């Protein structure tokens, strides 16, 4: 049974509408059969059935009805709401007449995703809105957020306001921020139809533009780039609202004497991917992105070095172990944006072969993700073989363990985000014809575990029994002027503000999870946690819409 799909239908054009619930008689993940039975209480000469579903339906087909002992193909869907949850059916000309005492039995087959993915997309975008730093625009939709960190500036007074706070804290780390932007931009590029259908396209452009404007501000000269604002130690010692921070917020930059090819190439990737996203939306903005991308990638190539060697403040948080994966990733995006073969050559020459798992805290994903894009661009077998080897490792029977519920469990700290990222890669690989069905099904199973299949939701403010205590400072503070301090971190009880759309860290290897704010391993949220997740959700929705998911 599809527990998720509650639905009420009514026949109208009667003196009183008849309301009945839908009975789901068969459920094949994603496709179901539903029956409606209306007992007719008066003479009817034409009818209309309105159906409200609790989740979007992509297609209703094979409607049939039993009407006075014979079965026939019946009515048509004449309209549906933009979000595909409300449908109106009308009778065909030959079956409009119903008599008192008849039962109108309607049987339908329909395709629907198991969870309301439109709602997930909408809420995930809201999470990024809650992470905004700087002067908020009048369009801000988060009532408990205000202007913050308006004094963020570079060593020469450059304006560095804006961007996203990294996680439950208030440091602005460009390395993960840029990676999140690239992952989100990639999802929008491939699955724009999903955002359009969900009514989220404009919000999604805004979502990306916010950090992009900031990343451009940070790039103060061709070979000078601020990569972090805020000191991890001082920031983490403060539990309170970003609007009320008073600690110093130092800014750290890379330059020719202090290089950082990884963060420069990563940011170039974000700009190049976003150039592709924005070029049909706002040519002026897109050209600015491309110019910054080219200068930063040039800097990354000409001055090799790891940024966490140059900026020690970053090394405890988002250390980089190697520059090859970002040079490869950035190179591919530069090639996709410019078609200049030089960039593809840089990408391929920095490719690290094999199914190897990067040990970097954040960059776990890049050694895999590049394989998909390189295969897409070159169609060379080596990339496909490496991709398959990676997934053999991740699928049941490989070296990656699974929780009892079926979540591929790479590591405890933020277990959900590893699987969400791999789900995105699986979907992207499936688009290249690599084990299409198996990879898509696996990806959907992983995402569904986060949305409710594990018996609860792991997305704040979404679905059944969602987390209420994300390890997140601003949403844990009551409305100003009530005080906020580490007491608000330690106390039990839901955060006063719902941090809609945030994917929390996730369960342990035994599938156990406790909704407890002080446990940041299971309950922190982060820009990079939601990025692969959101793009994977858009991908699954798009595959349903395109009729590609069985
Ligand atoms: C169905 O949805 C419409 C529009 O939201 C609403 O007006 C109507 O009352 C709903 N009907 C039922 C039976 O819930
Ligand atoms: C604290 O933050 C609130 C907004 O959340 C703001 O209205 C208030 O002015 C701030 N107070 C101080 C002292 O910064
Ligand atoms: C396009 O981008 C430019 C440069 O960022 C900006 O000034 C302008 O307002 C944007 N136009 C639209 C229609 O968004």
Closest CA to 267 of 275, 279, 257: 275
Is a pLDDT exceeding 50 seen at residue 519?
yes
Ligand 2 binding pocket includes 147 (Cβ within 6 Å): no
Burial class (CB in 10 A: 0-12, 13-18, 19+), 421: buried
- Residue at token pair 């995402």: 447
Give yes or no for residue 52 CB within 6 A of ligand 1: yes
Tokens of 197: 């259908």
pLDDT for the residue 15: 63
Q: In the predicted model, what is the mean pLDDT of residues 506-531? A: 97
Query: Which ligand has the nearest atom to the CA of 18?
Result: 1
Give the mean pLDDT of the chain.
89
Q: Which residues pair with 39 in a beta bridge?
A: 103
How do beta strands 103-112 and 172-173 pair? unpaired
Least confident of 20-24, 144-148, 542-546: 20-24
Select the more confidently predicted residue: 71 or 77.
77
Between helices 261-278 and 201-218, what is the axis angle to 10°? 140
What does residue 513 show for φ and ψ, rounded to 5 degrees?
-150, 135
Model's pTM, two decimal places?
0.85
Mean pLDDT of 21-36: 73
CA distance 327 to 346: 7
Domains of the chain: residue spans and CATH: 2-111 (2.60.40), 117-546 (1.50.10.10)
Give residue 72's pLDDT: 46
The ligand 1 atom at the shortest distance from the C-alpha of residue 9 is 13
d(CA 267, CA 472): 25
In the reported structure, the alpha carbon of residue 180 is separated from the centroid of ligand 2 by a whole-number distance in angstroms of 29
Q: Whose CA is nearest to atom 2 of ligand 1?
A: 52
List the one residue out of 473, 543, 541 whose CA is nearest residue 122. 541
Q: How confident is the model at residue 354 (pLDDT cuts 50, 70, 90)?
A: low
The yes-or-no verdict on residue 364 having pLDDT over 80 is no
Residues 172-188, mean pLDDT to the nearest whole number: 97
Q: Among candidates 504, 463, 413, 411, which has minimal Cα distance to 168?
A: 504
Q: Tokens 């750290």 belong to which residue?
A: 252
3-class SS of residue 164: strand
Q: What is the rounded distance in angstroms from the CA atom of residue 118 to the CA atom of residue 112?
A: 12
Instruction: State which of 11, 22, 52 you would mutate to test the pocket of ligand 1, scoring each by most atoms of that ligand within 8 A of its C-beta.
Output: 52
More confident residue, 4 or 387: 387
**Residue 11 — pLDDT band, cuts 50, 70, 90?**
low
Q: List, in sequence order, every residue forming a beta bridge with 20; answer none if it has no partner.
A: 9
Confidence of residue 319 (pLDDT cuts 50, 70, 90): confident
Instruction: Return the pLDDT at 98.
Output: 82
Nearest partner of 163 among 94, 110, 93, 213, judged by Cα: 213
515 carries an active-site annotation: yes
- pLDDT tens column, 402-429: 999 999 998 899 999 999 999 999 999 9
Q: Which residue has the tokens 């971190």?
A: 489
Q: Say if CB 152 and CB 160 are below 8 A apart.
A: yes
Query: How high is the pLDDT of residue 114?
Result: 78
Among 144, 141, 152, 175, residue whose Cα is nearest residue 250: 152
Which protein residue has the closest C-alpha to ligand 2 atom 10? 244
- pLDDT at residue 85 in the model: 78
Higher pLDDT, 62 or 262: 262
How much distance in Å is there from the Cα of 130 to the middle of ligand 2? 16
In which band, very low, low, confident or very high, does the pLDDT at 88 lie, cut at 50, 70 and 90? confident
Q: Which of 122, 224, 235, 515 is catalytic?
A: 515
Angle (deg, nearest 10), helices 381-394 and 415-431: 140
CA distance 179 to 191: 18
Q: What is the structure's pLDDT at 10? A: 60
Give the pLDDT of residue 64.
Answer: 60
- Asked if residue 359 has pLDDT above 50, the reply is no
The reported pLDDT for the residue numbered 58 is 66
d(CA 48, CA 41): 15
Give me the pLDDT at residue 176, please.
94
Say what the pLDDT of residue 528 is. Answer: 94
Count of residues making up the chain: 550
CA–centroid distance, 283 to ligand 3, in Å, is 8
Provide the β-strand partners of residue 3. Answer: none
Tell how far the Cα of 480 is from the centroid of ligand 2, in angstroms. 7
Percent of the chain with pLDDT strictly greater than 70: 90
Instruction: Determine if ligand 2 sits within 6 Å of the CB of residue 244.
Output: yes
Give the Å distance between the CA of 9 and the centre of ligand 1.
9
Tokens representing 338?
């410019």
Please name which ligand lies nearest the alpha carbon of 480. Answer: 2
Average pLDDT, integer, range 108-132: 89
Q: What is the pLDDT of residue 93?
A: 78
pLDDT score at 4: 34
Question: What does the pLDDT read at residue 27?
Answer: 67
Tell me the percentage of the chain whose pLDDT exceeds 90. Answer: 69
Is the Cβ atom of 249 under 6 angstroms away from ligand 2? no
Residue 524, pLDDT above cutoff 90: yes
């Amino acid at each position: 049974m599809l527990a998720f799909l509650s639905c009420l239908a009514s026949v109208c054009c009667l003196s009183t509408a008849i309301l009945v619930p839908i009975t789901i008689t068969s459920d094949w993940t994603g496709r179901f059969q539903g029956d409606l039975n209306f007992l007719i209480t008066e003479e009817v000469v034409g009818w209309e059935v309105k159906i409200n579903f609790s989740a979007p339906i992509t297609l209703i087909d094979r409607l049939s009805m039993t009407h006075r002992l014979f079965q026939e193909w019946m009515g048509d869907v004449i309209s549906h709401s933009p979000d595909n949850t409300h449908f109106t059916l009308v009778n065909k000309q030959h079956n409009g007449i119903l008599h008192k005492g008849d039962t109108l039995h309607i049987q339908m087959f329909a395709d629907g995703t198991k969870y309301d993915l439109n709602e997930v997309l909408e809420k995930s975008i809201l999470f990024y809105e809650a992470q905004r730093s700087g002067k908020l625009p009048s369009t801000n939709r988060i009532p408990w957020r205000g202007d913050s960190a308006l004094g963020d500036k570079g060593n020469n007074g450059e304006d560095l306001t804006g961007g996203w706070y990294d996680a439950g804290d208030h440091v602005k780390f460009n390395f993960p921020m840029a990676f999140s932007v690239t992952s989100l931009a990639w999802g929008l590029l491939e699955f724009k139809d999903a955002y359009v259908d969900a009514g989220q396209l404009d919000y999604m452009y805004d979502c990306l533009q916010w950090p992009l404007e900031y990343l451009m501000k940070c790039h103060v000269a061709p070979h000078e780039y601020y990569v972090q604002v805020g000191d991890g130690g001082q920031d983490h010692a403060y539990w309170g609202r970003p609007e009320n921070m008073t600690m110093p917020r130092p800014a750290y930059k890379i330059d020719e004497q202090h290089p950082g090819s990884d963060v420069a190439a990563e940011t170039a990737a974000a700009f190049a991917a976003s150039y592709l996203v924005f070029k049909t939306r706002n040519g002026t903005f897109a050209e600015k992105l491309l110019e910054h991308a080219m200068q930063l990638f040039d800097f990354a190539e000409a001055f090799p070095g790891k940024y966490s060697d140059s900026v020690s403040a970053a090394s405890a948080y988002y250390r980089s172990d190697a520059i090859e994966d970002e040079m490869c990733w950035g190179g591919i995006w530069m090639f996709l944006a410019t078609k200049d073969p030089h960039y593809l050559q840089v990408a391929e020459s920095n490719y690290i072969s094999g199914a190897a798992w990067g040990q970097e805290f954040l960059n776990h994903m890049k050694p895999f993700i590049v394989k998909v894009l390189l295969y897409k661009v070159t169609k060379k077998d080596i990339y496909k073989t490496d991709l398959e080897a990676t997934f053999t490792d991740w699928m049941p029977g490989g070296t990656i363990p699974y929780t009892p519920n079926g979540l591929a469990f790479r590591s405890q700290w933020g277990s959900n985000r590893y699987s969400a990222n791999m789900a995105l890669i699986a979907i992207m690989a499936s688009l290249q014809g690599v084990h299409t069905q198996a990879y898509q099904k696996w990806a959907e199973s992983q995402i569904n575990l986060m949305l409710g299949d594990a018996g609860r939701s792991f997305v704040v403010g979404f679905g059944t029994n969602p987390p209420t205590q994300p390890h997140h400072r601003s949403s844990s503070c009551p409305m100003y002027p009530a005080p906020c301090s580490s007491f608000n971190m330690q106390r039990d009880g839901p955060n006063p503000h719902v941090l809609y759309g945030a994917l929390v860290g996730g369960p342990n290897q035994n599938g156990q999870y406790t909704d407890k704010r002080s446990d940041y391993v299971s309950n922190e949220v982060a820009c990079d946690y939601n990025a692969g997740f959101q793009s994977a959700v858009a991908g699954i929705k798009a595959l349903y819409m395109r009729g590609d998911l069985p």
